[in-house]
């Protein structure tokens, strides 16, 4: 994978050196001869260094020629797990968190995806219910559309099941992610969620 210059013709280092050696300048202690010899050597070093560079048109085998991970600031992905703190915002008797995976995508928008599970118990049916959840990287939200996702809850009892669907937004005042739905019962539900939010540093 050699660097390609702007022109197809490359400097003939060996030929130029041969011409210089056979010229009348090739005499002992000739300053001009020494200068030209040093210039040819410098060109040779630069040419060798350019040959080791990768051009924009070179094809790179990511499996064989690239090692390490791409930094987040250059578009890489950072992953981890955290234990969210839960807030019983409305119509909830209790809630329990689980360790939750997250993925951070480093680009101009800087998005973070969170997916996991919580257990919760509504206080009353047919009432707007809200659960607040801390996020892995605190974000300075300005409006709720900067966090968006879905959740679903299910509980089994006897021969049947009860389930519900919920939305995930955020509360700009508290910086929490919010799971919202109308409760269908007062049993303890396992709720699985997935949401993505924009990371805005404080």
pLDDT tens for the 202 residues of the chain, in order = 444 545 445 667 677 777 767 776 666 667 777 777 777 777 777 777 666 666 667 677 766 666 666 666 666 788 899 999 999 999 999 999 999 999 988 665 689 999 999 999 999 999 999 999 999 999 999 999 999 999 999 887 666 678 899 999 999 999 999 999 999 889 999 999 999 999 998 7
Domain range annotation of the chain: 13-65, 72-198
189 Cα distance to chain centroid: 32
What does the angle CA 138 – CA 140 – CA 142 come to, to the nearest 5 degrees? 140
- So what's the pLDDT on residue 108? 57
- With tokens 């040419």, the residue in question is 47
Q: Are 87 and 132 in contact (CB under 8 A)?
A: yes
Dihedral angle of Cα 176, 177, 181, 186, to the nearest 10 degrees: -70
Helix (H, G, I), strand (E, B) or coil at 50: helix
- Torsion angles phi and psi, residue 193, rounded to 5: -135, 160
Q: Does domain 72-198 have CATH number 1.10.10.410?
A: no
- So what's the pLDDT on residue 78? 85
142 CB burial (10 A radius; 0-12, 13-18, 19+):
exposed
Query: The tokens of 8 are what?
Result: 């197809």
Distance CA 39, CA 34 (A): 9
Distance CA 164, CA 152 (A): 6
Query: Can you say whether residue 19 is alpha, beta or left, with left for phi > 0 and alpha for psi between -120 and 50 degrees?
Result: alpha
């Amino acid at each position: 994978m050699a660097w390609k210059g702007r022109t197809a013709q490359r400097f003939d280092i060996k030929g130029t050196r041969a011409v210089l050696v056979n010229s009348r300048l090739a005499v002992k202690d000739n300053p001009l001869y020494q200068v030209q010899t040093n210039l040819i050597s410098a060109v040779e070093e630069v040419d060798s260094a350019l040959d080791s560079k990768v051009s924009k048109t070179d094809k790179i085998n990511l499996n064989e020629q690239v090692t390490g991970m791409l930094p987040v600031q250059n578009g890489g992905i950072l992953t981890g797990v955290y234990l969210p703190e839960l807030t019983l915002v409305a119509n909830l008797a209790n809630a329990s968190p689980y360790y939750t995976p997250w993925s951070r995508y480093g680009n101009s928008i800087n998005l973070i995806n969170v997916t996991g599970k919580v257990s919760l118990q509504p206080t009353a049916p047919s009432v707007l219910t809200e659960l607040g959840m801390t996020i892995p990287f605190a974000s300075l939200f300005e409006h709720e559309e900067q966090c968006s996702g879905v959740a679903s809850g299910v509980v089994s009892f006897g021969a049947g099941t009860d389930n519900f669907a919920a939305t995930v937004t955020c509360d700009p005042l508290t910086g929490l992610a919010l799971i919202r739905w109308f409760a269908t019962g007062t049993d303890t539900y396992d709720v699985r969620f997935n949401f993505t939010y924009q990371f805005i540093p404080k």
